[in-house]
Amino acid sequence: MFAEISGRAADLKARLEAFMDEHVYPNERELLAERRESAGRWSTHPLMEELKGKARAQGLWNLFYTHGPEGQGLTNYEYTHLCEILGRSLAAPEVFNCNAPDVGNMEILSLYGTPQQKDRWLKPLLDGEIRSCFAMTEPQVASSDATNIETAIRRDGDHYVVSGRKWWITGAMSTRCKLAIVMGKSDSSAPKHKQQSVILVPMDASGLKVERPLSVYGYEHPPLGHAELVFDNVRVPAENMLLGEGRGFEVAQGRLGPGRIHHCMRFIGLGERAIELMCRRALSRHAFGTTLAEMGGVRQAIGQSRCELEQARLVTLKAAWKMDRQGSKAARHEIAIAKVVVPSAVSQIIDRAIQVHGAGGLSGDFFLAEAFAETRFLRIGDGPDEVHREALARAELSRFS
């Protein structure tokens, strides 16, 4: 399994590391501080646009993309190595046009979009000119079970009419978010997994209202944010249906395979950075006549963190490797394992790093507090861990029943 990455991927990785050192880490504090404090936080930071331009000029663009010349032609296994590097900074993914939820949305537009849909939405997304969101979750129903989704998608002549309420819609606060990819119910009399459809709704459509931003432990994650949205009889042309009526589950599955694993790849980078910060802090800080690094408890925390991060990296690499060979569907159990294992492991590593930093670790002065919030959310986002464990248990039990 542990093949070398190609020379081309290795070259991209080296250049990505150099770009991170030269442009991302030195500007990270400004990018992230602005994200939290500025009144115009939902619009893009000029510095972000400047860095995007530089990254694109250097060919460090759409690194995740496997569907055409707009990407770099990497396998998932190769991209895992690069994604870990850009995952070290919360500010980095957008610099390289590799940020959620746009990557998942570009994925499904590539797989299922018509030529017209691709021209209108995929092209500007690949160019980094617009942003998008994927709107499934609803406040009034348990949305981890997608069959519960209630938003109505009703055919009316040459149009569909969308009505409902969504929340936690990442990306929808951004002033540059132009597209909502909306899951809703088009036929409640159809078999359970054929009731849902996915439709493309322009963010400026009449009746679509961005009601409020939501925060994770107080972090609003601008400029993308997480929004509550209301669809009040929003009318869109019938050609905005993606793939076809009743095929919402197929679309959602296509989106979540690579999308889920990208989060895990990035989190390995966050974990590496947390271990690095933990070690540097422990070596430089003195208490009770010794450095923190000489204290047994701190050393145990560092050693345990290394064990857990290596395990997390291995399950992520295995999932990516299997996706490359057999596709996302065949790799669904490996993807589920990574989705459960990695956020928890990296959460714990970051938590230990916070502890070693004392009160400072809880503040905005270090990246640890925000990184912890990021990893904590993924134990619920993209489906709660329990749902993935349940799917794994079903598969295990079926081998013996």
Ligand X SMILES: Cc1cc2nc3c(=O)[nH]c(=O)nc-3n(C[C@H](O)[C@H](O)[C@H](O)COP(=O)(O)OP(=O)(O)OC[C@H]3O[C@@H](n4cnc5c(N)ncnc54)[C@H](O)[C@@H]3O)c2cc1C
Residue numbers of the site for ligand X (CB under 6 A)?
101, 133-137, 142-144, 168-170, 216, 226, 377, 380-381, 383-384, 386-387, 390
Give 113 or 164: the residue with its C-beta nearer to ligand X: 164
Question: Smallest distance, Å, CB 253 to ligand X?
Answer: 14
Question: Smallest distance, Å, CB 101 to ligand X?
Answer: 5
CA 211 from chain centre, in angstroms, equals 23
- What is the DSSP track for 290-349? EEGGGSHHHHHHHHHHHHHHHHHHHHHHHHHHHHHHHHHHHTHHHHHHHHHHHHHHHHHH
Give 279 or 341: the residue with its C-beta nearer to ligand X: 341
Question: Smallest distance, Å, CB 3 to ligand X?
Answer: 33
Contacts of 266 (CB under 8 A, 6+ apart): 83, 84, 86, 87, 93
Tell me the C-alpha distance between 370 and 317, whole Å. 25
Question: Smallest distance, Å, CB 376 to ligand X?
Answer: 9
Give 322 or 376: the residue with its C-beta nearer to ligand X: 376
Tell me the one-letter amino acid at 256. L
Strand, helix or coil at 161? strand
Strand, helix or coil at 79? helix
Give 85 or 225: the residue with its C-beta nearer to ligand X: 225
Give 60 or 181: the residue with its C-beta nearer to ligand X: 181
Give 142 or 238: the residue with its C-beta nearer to ligand X: 142
Is residue 349 a contact partner of residue 305, using CB atoms and an 8 Å limit? yes
End-to-end CA distance of the chain: 31
Tell me the C-alpha distance between 386 and 392, whole Å. 10
Question: Smallest distance, Å, CB 179 to ligand X?
Answer: 13
Residue 162 C-beta-side C-alpha neighbours within 13 Å? 33
Helices 368-377 and 332-356, packing angle to 10 deg: 150
Question: Smallest distance, Å, CB 380 to ligand X?
Answer: 5
Give 38 or 215: the residue with its C-beta nearer to ligand X: 215
Strand, helix or coil at 179? strand
| Cis amide prior to 237 (ω within 30 degrees) | no
Question: Smallest distance, Å, CB 166 to ligand X?
Answer: 7
Tell me the C-alpha distance between 152 and 383, whole Å. 22
Question: Smallest distance, Å, CB 219 to ligand X?
Answer: 9
Give 159 or 389: the residue with its C-beta nearer to ligand X: 389
